[in-house]
Amino acid sequence: MTNPKTPLAEAPIPDHPLPDWSALRDIPIVERNDPLLPTSLSPGLATYPAYYKMGVPHAVDECFVRREVFDRLMLASQRLPAGMRLVVLDGWRPFIVQQYLFDTLINLLQHARPDLDADARYAFTRTLVSPPSTDPEAPSPHLTGGSVDVTLSDADGRLLDMGTLFDEASPLSWSAALEDPVHDDRYGEARVHRRILYNAMTGAGFTNLPSEWWHYDFGNQLWALHRGEPRAIYGATRPPGVERLWQHQLGLKGHS
């Protein structure tokens, strides 16, 4: 695919450091109670629940996001050049899936990088997977429905070259990694695709996790930290089941 002529491709991706993870807990959550919506119902978005397709245990076969996240994904999609589609790979993530991903990467690193001590393995793992947490004051970002993993495809559904695969454990997975001119020959087109994705998403109000070109946030503590917001609007949530629906309708809110 030739590089599209669009202003979104011109602005480089800033080289930001990782956030101060310890600061997340200090950001209060004032829950707005936006519902989770399935992205697969939108004709303006492509949905490919990557972890479910990869057979990750307990992964869901849908990508759920908060209502305003959904609306902002639509804005980002509308900003893309003709012939490109926004592909949603993951949204709300069950705690058990977060635990599986974190533990799996930690365990693999023990074998692949025996030179790393426990702290170094933890730090490396955290660049790709947030520690699983149901703490109401500091939940895992994907548990809030405010985190979303996205990529780009052409109009026919062919995934575009982004330089690395989704979730690839590589230094090149950092969002700004391809901005170095040394990568011009091999990754020039992928750099353009990353810029288009980054500028479309941040232009729609999302923030990006610097170590993952695919990860964006809105409304949760990670978003608030990046933007300097005084509070987050999304805490931990889950899709409503029929039991919760009936409890609400029957006035049994105190029951689980």
**Which residues are catalytically annotated?**
212
Q: How many CA atoms lie within 13 A of 11 on its CB side?
A: 12
Q: Please tell me the distance from the alpha carbon of residue 186 to that of residue 86, in angstroms, as a whole number.
A: 24
What's the burial of 156, exposed, middle or buried (CB within 10 Å: 0-12/13-18/19+)?
exposed
215 is in an annotated binding site: yes
**Nearest one of 74, 2, 12, 67 to 34, comparing CA atoms:** 67
Q: Please tell me the distance from the alpha carbon of residue 191 to that of residue 187, in angstroms, as a whole number.
A: 6
**Nearest one of 90, 86, 87, 85 to 53, comparing CA atoms:** 90
183 is in an annotated binding site: no
226 is in an annotated binding site: no
- In the block, residue with structure tokens 């690193």: 109
List, as residue ranges, the binding site for Zn(2+): 142, 149, 215
